[in-house]
Every structure is written in C-alpha cells, then in structure tokens.
Structure 1
Amino acid sequence: MTDKQDDTPKTTFAALGLGPKLLQAIDEAGYDTPTPIQAEAIPHVLLGGDVTGIAQTGTGKTAAFVLPMIHRLEQGRARARMPRTLILAPTRELAAQVAENFEKYGKNLKLEMALLIGGVSFKEQEQKLMRGVDVLIATPGRLIDQFERGKILLTGVEILVIDEADRMLDMGFIPDIEKICALLPPRRQTLLFSATMPPEINKLAQRFQNQPKKIEVARQAQTAETIKQFVVKLSRDDDKAKRTALRRVIEAREVKNGIVFCNRKREVDVVTKSLIKHGFDAAAIHGDLPQAYRTQTLDRFRDGDLKLLVASDVAARGLDVPDVSHVFNYAPPPKDEDYVHRIGRTGRAGKKGESVTIVGPFDEKSWAGVVKMIQTDVEELMPEGLAEEIENLPEDTGGRKGGRGRSRGGRGSDDSRSGGRSRGGRSRSRAKDETTSDSKPAEAKDTESKTETKPAAKSDDKPAEKPRSDKPKSSRGGAKKGSGRDKKRGKDELAPASDAVRGFGDNVPDFLKR
C-alpha cells in the first residue's frame, strides 16, 4: 500500500466494503488509500469470485488478497487439522512476509494462523494444526510433507491463493500445485497473483479458476518510475573486475542500504567475502543457508543494522523492506523479467531509489534483452578512475570468463549444495567400496590359507585313523551337507599340501579294492 500522499487515488478502504475492525488496523498501519491493484481486486474477492491479478512488484498485491480474506474469515470457526484458507508462496521469505501482513491487519480479530515452511520444527507446526487454523500459509513442499504425514486435511479449504505464480513456475513448483489442487474441494474461491503472465501461468489459471476476473493495472515487466536506473559497462568479464567495479560503485553512490543480487549461490559467498574484506558491512542470503540464519540476516537488514545484503534471487520476490536506497546487479539476471523484480526492492511506496547493473562483454546479449523488455533508456555510469583500474588489474585465472562458462557455472550453482554433496557422496562411497573390496579379498586369502594348511597336516593320518565310508561327501573335512561352499572346501581338503603327486600307498580305501 502507499503512504499518505496528496496525489493518490481518492478511493478509500472504507468505500471498498471492509469491516470496521479491519479499517482500524489499516489506519494504525498508516494507510488511507488503496493502490490500483487493491482498489480493483478487493471488491471482487469480497463477492467470492475468482481473481487473476497482474501487477508489477511493490504495488501491494499481498494486501489485495489479505485484506478481503480477513474480512471474510471474521464469520465462521476453524476446525482441527482443517484450515479454512490456504495461501501458497514460492519461498520461505515470501510466506513469512504474508504471515506478517495477517498479523498486522488481523490483530483486532481472533484468527488463528499457521506458517508451514522448511527449517521450522514439525512439532510446533503440528500443534497449531491440531488446534485448528483459519489461515494456512505454506510453501508447496512442506505442505505436501505434512499432508502425507496425515497431519492436515484440505477438504475444508474455502479460499486458495497462489501468490507469485510466475515465480512458482520458475522454481518448478507447478507439479506440486497441481497435486495440492487435486486435494482441495472443487467448490472454492481461487485467487492467483503474479507480476507477469507467461503462457504456462495462463493455462494454470484456465485449469483451476472458474471464470476469473482478470485485473492488470500495469504493463507487464514495467519498472517503477521512482527508480533511477544505471548500467556500468566493463571491458573485461572476469570476477575480479566485477568485484572491483561493484566496490567502486558503492563508494561513489550515497548508499544508505542496498541489496546486491548475484546469479549464483557461489557468487553470493565470494562477493560477500570480498566486500567484508574491503571493510564493507555485508552479509549473504541464499537458499543453502539455514533458515534461522536467513531470518536473522533479513531482520538485521530491515532494522538498519546491516548495510549491504548480498542475495540470490531467493530474495528478489516478496522481500518487503520499505526503504532500500539501492539495488546492485552483479550481472544481468538469467531471465529478463527477473530484472524488474530485483530492482523493485527499491523505490517502494513512492520513495526514490537507484539501481546499478554491472555488464561485462559477455553480458551484452543478456543486457540487450533487458533493455528491450523494459523499453527504457538506462544511463551509463563509470566512476572516476574505474576504467583505468580495471585495465591494470591482473588476470583473474580462478574466476569465470566468457558467457558459456558462466552458463555452465550458473546451472551448477543452482544445485551447488546438492551437486557438491553428490560428488562428495560418490567419492566417499567409492572410497568405502574400495576399502571394503580390499578387506574382503584379504579375509578370503586368510580363509583359503587356513583351509589349505589345515588339511595338509591331516591328509596322511586321517584315513588311517578312520577308514572312509561309502559316503565320502559327508566325511570330507567335516563339511556340512548341502553347502556348495562346503563342497568346495571338501575338495580343497583332499588336495595335497605340495605340488608333488602322491598315491595312497598302503592306505588304499576299501571301496577301491572292491
């Protein structure tokens, strides 16, 4: 929602039909006029119809479904393990932000809410579900986990919200969403909100929504007018040059706080270490970090205790920090539309912001796609002395060079944790297998030597003490009947200890004399 301004639309929240307790919470939060997406979506949601909302990031899509949902939940009561409404979010951070909105606007109503995300104890979540919740906010994976454990029933869901649907598509959650929708009652209200509307999301809307009201308040992939955009074009593409450029740009701009976006998780760690090494106040956040650490880092950034947040695209959607002065792109994003989501972290709620994108020679094609999409001229920026410093840098032999190398690194980095674990796992397994295979032959050799030497000492004496019967198999070295291995051992015991050929001598068995 927007702050109180003179040039905002004259429609009020009271005119939208929201209840007095909800209006009081909105007023206490400091808002009096809805944004365009809120003004159009809230009345349709209150009437119970399906809605497809398309709006650029930072326009208040979350409140567009949270406010009417709270109004409708005021009537009714939650039952154990059967949530009344379900909100699906692609990331833990976005789910947590939606939960914060419910706590803020629903504080005057006695509504129960549960947040199902990874990195949180199952037991605590199960206790809330057993008491009954009005609102269930979840990431798809954890929701399916709890359903398969028998801890939740979805047959009582009245309203389904799919938030950031295009991000769900990017992260591969569409099969999970289809599975979840199959568990929900067919008669329900389905709300779908997204910043863009690719064909796959359009098909999803047609499949799971019933004659939805489509609300599009801004051109898709349009950047906010409050953001001043810059690009720094380098003559080199190695990581050392980009890290140098990033530091010089941060020093040259008046940065109150900022987010540095990287395309790969490994880059996030490397850039963070570089910034800290050179005296910058920075911390990393990406999908491989523990949830508790990610939450703590975000809280520090929101509270102003952290100046620079270095992030992967896990933070590009749903990260609601009201006053971010700058966004820095270490490189253009892999998907053009992600550029809009990234720089949308600044210039929010009518405030001014700046974005700076670093482009090397092999980023030119990606950057051209971004410029074509946003249809905006981006001003070139080059801090004083940076070009000469870049030219005089030694070669970064350990860094990436070239677009193709970056592409391969990008794919690997997306699965860096699992990939590294798999490689390590295979190595450990191979080492274990090799150790086992080496030890087993050693045991076998010991066994064979024992079986060879033991009969050798008895081969001449045993027949003399007890003549062989007509059943030689049962008396071969005490071997048990029916065992192939024992039969082999019996043959070994009949073999002489040396290579010399020996006869029976005077001890010829009786069955040979017949």
Structure 2
Amino acid sequence: MTTSEQPTAVGADIDTHQTAADAVPTPVGAASRAAASVQAVDASFADFDIRRETVEALAERGIVNPFPIQAMTLPVALAKHDIIGQAKTGTGKTLGFGIPLLEHVVAPGEPGYDELSAPGKPQALVVVPTRELAVQVAGDLAMAAAGRRVRIVQVYGGRAYEPQVEALSRGAEVVVGTPGRMIDLLNQRALILAHARTVVLDEADEMLDLGFLPDVEKLLGATPASRHTMLFSATMPGAIVAMARRYMTQPTHIRAHDPGDDHQTVQNITQVAYRAHALDKLELLARILQARGRGLTIVFARTKRTAAKVAEELTARGFAAGAIHGDLGQGAREQALRAFRHGKVDVLVATDVAARGIDVEDVTHVINYQCPEDEKIYLHRTGRTGRAGNKGTAVTFVDWDDMPRWGLINKALELDIPEPVETYSSSAHVYTDLDVPQGTTGRLPKDRQVRAGLAAEEIEDLGETGKHGGAAGGRGSSGDRHGHPHDDGGRSGGGRGRGGHGRSGRSGDARSGEGRSGEASARSGEGRGESRPKPAHDEAGGPARAVDAATTGADGSSDAAKRRRRRHRRGSGSSSAAPATTD
C-alpha cells in the first residue's frame, strides 16, 4: 500500500511516503515533514469521515474535539495507510487508532456482514503488553462503539481459558489482549487470525522490553499480508524499527508534540525531587498526601513487598489506599483498579509494570516512593498524571544510594534538579512546595476520612489461574500448579511454584529486595506483560517456549537447580536428595 495524499499536520510532525527503513530511532525521521504550532485542535470528530454512531457515542462522554495525535492519525488510518505513531503517554492515542479500527469493522446486522468470508471471526487485533492496558483499551473501544453491535473480546492471562475460548467461539469482531495468551489461544485454534484485516501494536517499546517481540511477530505472521498495521511506541529502538521494516508497508510516521516543549516529560507536570531518609519516608508521604487540591494519587514502589507494606501503613493512618502488584490475583488487582477509578480509594500503591495499564485522567499526583531505575521508567510513572491536557505533580523520593541513578535520570530528561534537597517530614519547604497545610501530621484526621475504601468494591470471581489475595496485602492463598502467572502483568511471573505461590514472587521480594535492580527491573520479580499458563497441548509435544527470566536466578542458575539444593539441605536421614521434578 502507498500513501496517495499528504495530510495536513495539526499539532504534530508527520512523515509521509516514508519506508520503515527511514524510521530511524530519532524523535522524528529525516524525511521532509510539515509541522504546525497549535496545541488545541479546532476540528471536531464530526468533521472526519467516521460513522454518526461513533460521533454520538463520543459526544455522550463529552469527547468532541480530538487531541493532536488523534487529528493526525484519523485521516491517515481511515485511508488504511500503515502508521508508526510516536507520542508521550497520556496524549490520547487509543482513540487515534481505535476509531479507524472500528470504522473498518463490520458488525452483525450491518450491511456486508453476511458477505464476509468468515462472519464472527476477528476482523481486528490489538496487541498490548499488560493485562491492565488490555482492559483499558477494550473499555475505550467499547465506549466508542456503544451505538453498534461490535463484539470486543479481551484475552489475557490470570483468567481461566474457558470463558475466553467461549467468547471467541460465540463470535468477535475485535480481540484485545496480551501476546502470550493470544499465542496460546492461536496454538489451540481458538483464536483465528486469518481474517484480521487490521492489527494494532500498542506500547511496542514496552513489549520489546518485556521480551514479547517474537510472540508479536508470530501473531503478525498469522494475519493476512494485506492487513492494515498501526504501531504505536513512545520510543523507536532498533528492534522496533527492524520489525516495522519487515511487517509494514511504507508506514506514515506521526509524532505528536507540545509546541515549545522540547523535553521528554509532559510540560504540564510539576517535577519535584527530595532526598529522603528511609525511616522518614512514610511520614513524609502521609503529609504530602494531605496537600490542598490533591485528587487521585498513585504511589510507585520498586518491589511488591514495599507496595503492600506502604498500602497497609497508609490504610492504618486513615487513608483510603489500595495496592496493585504481582502477588495479587487478577480479581484483587481489578478490584483495586475499579475502586481507584470510582473514587472509593484515592491512593493506589503500584509497582512499575502496573504503570502501563493505569489510565485515569484525573490523577493529580504521582509519588515515586522509591527512585525509578532509569529515565524510561520515570517517564512511565510520571506519565500517569498530567494526562489529556490536565495538570499534574510528580514527587520523587531519592535515597542516598540512589543519587548516582537520579543524576543520570536528571541529565537524560533535563529536569534541572541535579541535587535533590535533603528533606524531612518536618521540612518547611515541603509545605510551601506542595501546598500542604501547616500543622499537618502523618495521620489523616477522622473528619477527612470520607471515602468508602477498598472493601466497598466487590471482588469478582474470575476463575483465575493464579493466587487470590486482598488488594492491599499478602500473597493470597494457593493457586494452581502454575502458581500466580502474572506478577504485575507478568508473563510467567508466578512461575510454577510447587505450593502455588510461584517462584517469581519470591524472586521479586526476597532476592531482589529493594536493591539496584528492584523487582529485577520489573521483569523477574514483577514478571512480564501477562501470563501464559502452559496449555495441555504443549505437554503433548507443542512448540517449546523460551525460559522466562523469572525462572532463572541472578547468577544465571535455574530455579530447578536451586530447588534441588534446597531439598538436599532439607533431607532427613538420607545422603541424597530426591530427584527434582520439572513441574
């Protein structure tokens, strides 16, 4: 496919007639481009060639004018040109690809449905790195398609296979999910992609980081060569460029930007960093959470243990807090997210991988309880606030040991905070910097404890394959033989723990602790983007999988070997350990 027209740029850079080879990992390619220096888009969705039902569904939710990335993407995507979209998080790209995707889908009862080669088989595929993001994207698509009978099915790990297989068998026009579960369903022939005419890869750089690119390429290989492909990524590393070169046809490169803002961070987020003491962090956090005008707040920690502890401590201090981390079952995780979105809790404590799936527009504050590993994680965390044009505040606590790391983050993002000021909960500048009332203590007064709390949100029985636990505490009880397979959207995060708790939970807590790698860079302890419980057909000789990082120790030795050594040490009255099993 080739581009026949060069659309007018509105609040974005755009490269037309650009091959994937030209899509070098720079902010924009070297090809000619047009750019406009306007931030707001005057056009409305009604001005685009989209269905009246879609325009009305958006208007009912108060969505009338597109953001720049949407205004730039719509005319190109509606013409079925391949797209590489680059935009900072929170710029509204979901509707940018979602509306064209829905426009090209034929729903039951609509003209042409019965003439489809395979009515009821997926016509569009959206691949995302985490289950939380899958839920959010599917929700946005369902909102835009509210006036039609488009069937949107979510598939991701942490839930039982059977309901997802049944939903696909009943018919689906759009499938949204994570790579591992899609591959499993594809191998079981429950997911048929031969008729998927539109494919969207969202957060492609995150899928690269989580090791999903081979799975993504397998999914692309199962779709028609003539498909319409849209790839969205905050950055363009070489592996993403190479994949685009292989699987996309003369993609148009679109990059949304804020005029006058050359920084990577969102311009309307106030950045604050404090050098804090470990023993004073909770008190400092509790006082900051009482700042005037604070709304929904996300507190980020590096480890699951820290996230659970902080949520528990904040609850004890009177705050309506919940946690989302890898030691929780999917039902408990979704309970916490629903309670947060509904305002029953206003503080959500999360680990890094969960950041990708939290999309709530009215988050006013993000607090990094522990310093991020690098500038990319910093951007992912702070990008949870200041979304869709709103203002936000990002506060980072920097330990003494984290000062070198913070220096690299500050330099890479040009934050102009090279030396965070030494700060205690009683420091006067905290009150002035963040508008905290004088005299505030580390406990929320009873007259301000007005939110319903986490318990007010029901927990769903999802028939999940992992652990079941409360959203603010512990690891839950036992799971199936695979343990809890997610660990913050973890691909195999729960591993196949013999007692159902899974290995990687232990890896993220006891082994990684709060050291430099935190949750093993959110990949070993917190797992990858979603789960992949081993389907039965694999045991009968299906294709072998690569060993996940969660099954390998930091020194490169496998957990199986470590279990053998532990059994040998535990053995009583025997000079040799029992043979190790492979689950």
Aligned residue for 1:240? 279
Residue 356 of structure 2 aligns to a residue in which SS?
A: coil
Unmatched 5+ residue regions in structure 2?
1-37, 430-508, 527-549, 554-558, 579-583
- CA–CA separation in structure 2 for the residues paired with 1:429 and 1:221: 53
Residue 65 of structure 2 aligns to a residue in which SS?
A: coil
When normalised by structure 1's length, the TM-score is 0.74
- CA–CA separation in structure 1 for the residues paired with 2:48 and 2:573: 72
- Residue 149 (structure 1) aligned to one of 176, 184, 188: 188
Residue 310 of structure 1 aligns to a residue in which SS?
A: strand
Residue 363 of structure 2 aligns to a residue in which SS?
A: coil
Aligned residue for 1:32? 64
Larger radius of gyration: 1
When normalised by structure 2's length, the TM-score is 0.66
Structure 1 segment 105-184 matched on structure 2, within 5 A: 105-184=144-223
Say whether 1:71 aligns with 2:71: no
Say whether 1:266 aligns with 2:305: yes
Partner AA of 1:45 in structure 2 = A
Say whether 1:223 aligns with 2:262: no
Residue 111 of structure 1 aligns to a residue in which SS?
A: coil
Structure 1 segment 451-466 matched on structure 2, within 5 A: none
Distance 1:243 1:67, change over 3 A: same
Aligned residue for 1:473? none
- CA–CA separation in structure 2 for the residues paired with 1:405 and 1:294: 22
Deviation of the 1:434 alpha carbon: 5.3
Partner AA of 1:61 in structure 2 = K
Distance 1:76 1:164, change over 3 A: farther
Deviation of the 1:410 alpha carbon: 3.7
- CA–CA separation in structure 2 for the residues paired with 1:70 and 1:37: 17
- CA–CA separation in structure 1 for the residues paired with 2:272 and 2:130: 29
Q: Is the 8 A contact 1:52 1:213 kept in 2?
A: yes
Query: How many residues are matched?
Result: 420
Partner AA of 2:76 in structure 1 = H
Partner AA of 1:367 in structure 2 = W
Residue 50 of structure 2 aligns to a residue in which SS?
A: coil
The CA deviation string for residues 280-329 of structure 1, in whole angstroms up to 9 with x for no partner, is: 32221023321111111000000110121010122322311121121001
Aligned residue for 1:462? none
Deviation of the 1:176 alpha carbon: 1.2
Note the aligned Cα RMSD (angstroms): 3.2
Deviation of the 1:374 alpha carbon: 2.5
- CA–CA separation in structure 2 for the residues paired with 1:358 and 1:410: 17
With 219-228 and 63-72 compared, the bigger mean Cα shift is at 219-228
Aligned residue for 1:406? 515
Say whether 1:296 aligns with 2:338: no
- Residue 385 (structure 1) aligned to one of 408, 420, 426: 426
With 72-81 and 306-315 compared, the bigger mean Cα shift is at 72-81
- CA–CA separation in structure 1 for the residues paired with 2:168 and 2:56: 29
- Residue 23 (structure 1) aligned to one of 55, 74, 77: 55
Q: Is the 8 A contact 2:303 2:514 kept in 1?
A: no
The CA deviation string for residues 120-151 of structure 1, in whole angstroms up to 9 with x for no partner, is: 22121112211221101110011111112221
Aligned residue for 1:330? 369
Unmatched 5+ residue regions in structure 1?
1-5, 389-399, 441-514
- CA–CA separation in structure 2 for the residues paired with 1:169 and 1:304: 33
Partner AA of 2:336 in structure 1 = T
- CA–CA separation in structure 2 for the residues paired with 1:297 and 1:185: 39
- CA–CA separation in structure 2 for the residues paired with 1:220 and 1:146: 43
The CA deviation string for residues 445-478 of structure 1, in whole angstroms up to 9 with x for no partner, is: xxxxxxxxxxxxxxxxxxxxxxxxxxxxxxxxxx
Aligned residue for 1:193? 232
Deviation of the 1:275 alpha carbon: 2.4
Partner AA of 2:71 in structure 1 = A
Aligned residue for 2:533? none
With 341-350 and 97-106 compared, the bigger mean Cα shift is at 341-350
Distance 1:7 1:179, change over 3 A: closer
Deviation of the 1:35 alpha carbon: 0.6
Aligned residue for 1:351? 390
Distance 1:253 1:204, change over 3 A: farther
Structure 1 or 2: more helix by fraction: 1
Distance 1:320 1:438, change over 3 A: closer
- CA–CA separation in structure 1 for the residues paired with 2:130 and 2:194: 24
Partner AA of 1:31 in structure 2 = I
With 266-275 and 52-61 compared, the bigger mean Cα shift is at 266-275
- CA–CA separation in structure 2 for the residues paired with 1:439 and 1:11: 72
- CA–CA separation in structure 2 for the residues paired with 1:340 and 1:168: 16
Distance 1:439 1:422, change over 3 A: closer
The CA deviation string for residues 95-141 of structure 1, in whole angstroms up to 9 with x for no partner, is: 01111011111011111121101122212111221122110111001
Aligned residue for 1:453? none
Say whether 1:56 aligns with 2:88: yes
Q: Is the 8 A contact 2:152 2:172 kept in 1?
A: yes
Partner AA of 1:385 in structure 2 = S
Deviation of the 1:44 alpha carbon: 0.8
Distance 1:413 1:124, change over 3 A: closer
Q: Is the 8 A contact 2:302 2:372 kept in 1?
A: yes
The CA deviation string for residues 240-270 of structure 1, in whole angstroms up to 9 with x for no partner, is: 3433433343345653321001122222123
Residue 349 of structure 1 aligns to a residue in which SS?
A: helix
Q: Is the 8 A contact 1:262 1:330 kept in 2?
A: yes
With 253-262 and 191-200 compared, the bigger mean Cα shift is at 253-262
Q: Is the 8 A contact 2:155 2:181 kept in 1?
A: yes
Q: Percent identity?
A: 37
The CA deviation string for residues 36-61 of structure 1, in whole angstroms up to 9 with x for no partner, is: 10011111111111000000011101
Q: Is the 8 A contact 1:92 1:139 kept in 2?
A: yes
Distance 1:413 1:152, change over 3 A: closer
